[in-house]
Chain A
Amino acid sequence: MFKQKFRNRHPYMFIAPAVTLLIIFSIIPITIAFFISFTDLDLKGLANWSNISWIGFDNYQNLFADDTFIKSIFNTLFYVVIGVPLVIICSLGIALMLNYGSNKLFSMFRSVYYMPSITNIIAVAVIWGYLYNTEYGLFNYILSLLSVENIPWLQEPTIAKISLIILAVWKGIGINMIIFLAALQGIPRAYYEAAKIDGANRIQTFFNVTLPLLRYATFFVTVTTLIGWMQFFEEPYVMTQGGPLDGTLSIALFIYQEGFQFSEFGYAAAGSFVLFIMIIIITLIQFKLRKSDTEY
C-alpha cells in the first residue's frame, strides 16, 4: 500500500526539478509580462512603479491599428509557410545522406554540415551580406555569367524575405539534422532487412519503413521549427533591420524594437502575447492532428 503510493509519486519526482525551475524562471515571468501588456509601462514606469497605469485593452487595440504590426504578421507567416517545410526537407535529406555511409569521411561531414549553425553571427552577416550584395555579390556575379540581370537580393521586400529564408534554412539545418541522424540510428536494421525480404524497393522502404519510424523525431522537429520560425528574429536583425520598407520585419523583431529600442514595454508585451496566442493555436493544432496517430 505504502509502496504503491510512493510509486505514484515517482513521475512527479522525475519532472519536479525541471518543472519547478521553469515555473520560477518562465511561467511566473510570462504571467508578469501578461499583466504588463495591459499597462503603459515604459522606462519611466520601470524606474518608478507609480508611473504605471492600467490601460486595459488599449495596447491590443493599437496593435491591430498599427500597419507596421500587421505587416510584420504577414511577413512572419510568409517566413513560416515557406521556410519551415524547406528546413525540414533539407535537414532530413542531409541526414539521410550522411547516414548512408559510416566511414571516417561521412562522420567528418557530419561536423561540416553542422558548421553553419555554429558560425558566429557577425561572420554570417558579413559573408551573406557579400553574397547578396547587388553589385559586387557572388550570386549576382554568377547570374551575370548566365546573362541574368542583377537581382536586388536585399533591396526588394519580397525578394529580401526569400533571401532571409535561404539564409535561415542554411543556418537551421544543423540542429535538425543531428536530431534526424539520432533518430535514423534508432531504427533497427532488422526492419530494413524485413522490407528487403518482402521485395520492397528503396522508395517503398523509405515511405513505409523509414518515415513512419521517424515520426517521433519529425513531430518534434516540426513543432519546434514552427515555434522557432514564428519567432524569426536574428536574420532580419543582423541583415536588414526589418527593411526595406519594413519588408522583412518579423513579429519578434517588431517586439524587440518596441520594447528595447523605444522602451514601450507594455506595447511590446501585448505584441508578444498576440504572437504567443498564434503559436499556441498552431502548436495545439499539430498536437490534435497527432492525436489521431497513436502517440505513446
Chain B
Amino acid sequence: MRKWLVLTFIVALLALSACGNEEAAKKDSGNKDDEITVWAMGEEGKLLKQLTDKFEKDNKGLKVDVQAIPWDSAHDKLLTAVASGNGPDILQLGTTWVPEFAEAGALLDLTEYMEEHPEFAAENYFDGAAEIMQYDDQIVGIPWYVDTRVLYYRTDILEEAGYDKAPETWEELQDAAKKLADRGEGHYGIDIDQNDQIMPFIFAWQNGYEANLEESKLNFDTPEFLGAMEYYTSFFKEGSSQVEQGEDIIQAFANGKKPMFFSGPWMVNIINEQAPDIEGKWAPAVMPGNETNASSMGGATLSIFHNSENVENALKFLSYMNETETQLEWLDISNTLPSKLESWEDPILQDDPMYSVFGEQLKKAKAGLQTEQFERIAQELLSALERVNAGGADLEKEIEQFNKTAQDLLEE
C-alpha cells in the first residue's frame, strides 16, 4: 500500500507541475486588454462560444473568453467574485438577481456610455426588460434574452369543456378550471406551481396592483392585492388546483388530468420532447386577465462587473450581442427569445404561432419589484399562501401579517 501511495504522489506531482507550467504560460498571454472575460450560465455558457468566433473575426486582436458556470452554483460563485473584487468583465445575470448585485455596487453604471451607444436605449426593448436595466438612477445591464409566463392549455380538452379558445378573462379561467376539475376524481382544472415566486404577483398585476417603491410603499394592503390573492387561493379552495404535489406536470398535461398550467417558453421544447404524443393538441395562450393581462418579465441581462479594466472592449462585445442579427442567431442556437423589439419584426418570430403568443405576452410583461429584498418578500408571500392553501389559515390575516413583514424587510 505504501508503494501505491508513493507512486500516486509522484504521478500527482509530475502532473501538477506540468499543469502549473501550462497555467503560467496561459497567465502570460491572458489578462490583457485584448481579452474579454465573460461569465455565462449553464448550457448558455457552453453555447455562447458559438457566437464569439464571429466577434473575434470582426474585431481582430480581441479575444472573448467565456466561462460557463452551473446555474445551481452561480450565486455562490458570484458572491466570491463580489467579495474579492475578482470578477469577469461581463457577467450574465438572471433578472431577479440584478437588483441584488446592483445594490451591492457590483455592476458598472453604464449611464455615461449611453450617448456613445444609442443601441442600448431603453425604448429598444420590451418595457419590462427596460425596467430591469435600471436600478435607482443607474443603468446596470443590457437585456440579453427574455422570457415570460403564459397559459399552456390542451386545445382538445378545453374544447370538450366548451372552450374553443383559451380562457381570456379571470371569470372564464375560473369557470373553465372548475368544469375541468369536475370531470372526475383525480382530475384538475389548472396547475398552479406553489413554489413559483412570481405567480402571485402576476395575478396581482392583472388585478391592477402596483408597488410604489419610490415612496417605499409595497401596497400589499390594497384591495387589488388582496383580491388577487383571493383569486389565487380560490383555485385550491374549489379543488380546481391540486394542493398536494401530484404527478410531474408534463405527464399530467399529457394524460389530461391537468389540462392547463402557467409556465415560460422553455416548456415548449420540454413538452415536445417528453410528450410527443400530444402534438397539435396543445397551445400557449396569452394570460387571461382582469384589469390587464400582465405577466412577468424574466430572462437574462448582460452586465459589466464594477472593476472591469476592459470596459471599452466589453461594451463592444455587448454591442455585438445586441445586434438584431446576433439575437436571431442566438434564438436559433439556444431557443431563447430576443429582448429587442426590432428582432421581433423578423418573420421567424412574427409568423410562428407559438412565438407570436410570447411576443404578444412580452409586451405586457412586468419586471419583479426592483428591490434586493424581492426574493425574500416573494418567499414570505409563498409561505403565507401555503398556510392558507394547505393549513387552512385565514387569508386576510395572513396577508395583513405578510404586509407588515414585507414592509419591515423593505425598510431595513
B390 contacts A by Cβ under 8 Å: yes
**From residue B183, how far is it (CB to closest CB) to chain A in Å?**
16
Given contacts A262-B375, A262-B376, contact A47 B105 (CB under 8 A): yes
CA distance in complex: A244, B75 (Å):
25
- Given A46-B79, A46-B82, A263-B100, 4 other A-B contacts at CB below 8 A? A43-B79, A155-B390, A244-B386, A263-B372
What distance in Å separates the Cβ of B38 from its nearest Cβ neighbour in chain A?
Answer: 20
Q: Is the Cβ of B386 less than 8 Å from the Cβ of A245?
A: yes
Q: In the complex, which residue of chain B has the Cβ closest to the Cβ of A43?
A: B104
0/1 interface trace, chain B 356-393, chain A, CB 8 Å (1 if under): 00000000000000001001100100010011001100
Asked if B386 contacts A47 (CB within 8 A), the reply is no
CB proximity of B101 to chain A, nearest CB, Å: 7
B22 at the A interface (CB under 8 A): no
Chain B residues near A185 (CB-CB < 8 A) = none
The answer to whether residues A246 and B383 also contact, given A43-B82, A155-B390 and a CB cut-off of 8 A, is: yes
Contact status B386-A241, CB under 8 Å: no
Chain B positions within 8 Å of A261 at CB level? 75, 375-376, 379
**Alpha-carbon separation in the docked complex, A246 to B391 (Å):** 12
Determine whether B25 belongs to the interface, using a CB cutoff of 8 Å to chain A.
no
A241 to B195, CA, bound (A): 10
CA A225 to CA B106, docked complex, whole Å: 40
25 contacts across the A-B interface (CB closer than 8 A): A42-B104, A43-B79, A43-B104, A43-B372, A44-B103, A44-B104, A46-B79, A46-B82, A46-B83, A47-B83, A47-B105, A47-B306, A48-B105, A133-B247, A134-B245, A135-B246, A136-B247, A155-B245, A243-B386, A245-B386, A245-B391, A260-B75, A260-B76, A261-B75, A263-B372
Smallest Cβ distance from B93 to chain A, in angstroms?
A: 13
Instruction: Judge if A154 is at the interface, Cβ distance under 8 Å.
Output: yes
Query: Which residue of chain B has its CB nearest to the CB of A156?
Result: B390
A66 to chain B, nearest CB (A): 11
Interface residues of A in 46-68 (CB under 8 A from B): 46-48
CB of B186 closer than 8 Å to a CB of A: yes
A154 to B195 CA separation, bound complex (whole angstroms): 15
A244 pairs with B106, CB closer than 8 A = no
Task: Give the residues in chain A near B104, CB-CB below 8 Å.
Answer: 42-44, 46-48
CB pair B390–A44 under 8 Å, yes or no, is no
B244 within 8 A of A: yes
Residue positions of B touching A, CB distance < 8 A = 75-76, 79, 82-83, 85, 100-101, 103-106, 186, 195, 244-247, 306, 372, 375-376, 379, 383, 386-387, 390-391
Q: Count of A residues near B, CB < 8 Å?
A: 22
Main secondary structure of the interface of A (DSSP, over half): loop
Whole-angstrom distance between the Cβ of A55 and the nearest chain B Cβ: 12
Residue-wise, chain A 19-51 has the 8 Å CB interface mask toward B (1 for contact) of 000000000000000000000001110111000
State the Cβ distance, B123 to closest chain A Cβ, in Å. Answer: 31
Q: From known contacts A243-B386, A244-B386, infer whether A134 and B246 are also in contact, taking CB-CB under 8 Å.
A: yes
Could you say which residues of chain A place their CB within 8 Å of the CB of B375?
Answer: 261-262
Could you tell me the distance between the alpha carbons of A261 and B380 in the complex, rounded to whole angstroms?
Answer: 13
In the bound assembly, the distance between CA atoms of A42 and B82 in angstroms comes to 11
List of B residues within 8 angstroms of A241 by Cβ: 195
Complex contact A135–B186 (CB within 8 A): yes
- In the complex, residue of chain B having the shortest beta-carbon distance to the beta carbon of A126: B248
Contact with B along A149-190 (1 / 0, CB 8 A): 000101100000000000000000000000000000000000
List 3 tightest A-B contacts by C-beta distance, closest first: A43-B104, A47-B104, A46-B83
Given contacts A154-B245, A245-B390, A261-B375, contact A43 B383 (CB under 8 A): no
Across the interface, A44 reaches (CB within 8 A) one of B105, B186, B195, B391, namely B105
A106 to B386, CA, bound (A): 48
Interface of chain A residues 244 through 276 with chain B (CB within 8 A): 244-246, 260-263
Q: Does B106 contact A133, Cβ atoms closer than 8 Å?
A: no
What residues of A have a CB within 8 angstroms of the CB of B306 in the complex?
47
B105/A245 in contact, CB under 8 A = no
Query: Which chain A residue has the least Cβ–Cβ distance from B186?
Result: A135
**In whole angstroms, what is the CA distance A263 to B118 when docked?**
35
Instruction: Please state if A155 and B244 are interface contacts (CB–CB under 8 Å).
Output: yes
Q: With A262-B375, A263-B100 known to touch, is A135 a contact of B247 (CB < 8 Å)?
A: yes
Separation of A152 and B243 alpha carbons in the complex (Å) = 11
Q: For residue B243, give the distance in angstroms from its CB to the closest CB of chain A.
A: 8
Write the nearest CB–CB distance from B37 to chain A, whole angstroms.
19
B386 and A134 contact, CB distance less than 8 A: no
In the complex, which of the residues A43, A133, A136 contacts B103, with contact meaning CB atoms closer than 8 Å? A43
Cβ A244 vs Cβ B82 within 8 A = no
Pick from B85, B244, B372, B379: contact of A152, CB under 8 Å: B244
Residue of A47, A152, A262 near B106 (CB, 8 A) is A47
Q: Which residue of B lies closest to A152 (CB)?
A: B244
Query: How far is the CB of B6 from the nearest CB of chain A, in Å?
Result: 16
The residue among B83, B244, B379 with the most chain A CB atoms within 10 A of its own CB is B244
Note all chain B residues with C-beta closer than 8 A to A263: 79, 100, 372
A135: chain B residues at CB < 8 Å are: 186, 244, 246-247
- A115 to B103 alpha-carbon distance, docked (Å): 45
Nearest CB of chain A from residue B256's CB, rounded to whole Å: 15
CB distance from A19 to the nearest CB of B (A): 20
A152→B244 CA distance, assembly (Å): 8
C-alpha spacing A245/B382, complex, angstroms: 10
Q: Contact: A47 with B82, CB < 8 Å?
A: yes
- A121–B186 Cα distance when bound, in Å, is 30
Residue of A nearest to B372 (CB): A43
**Does the CB pair A43–B390 fall under 8 Å?**
no
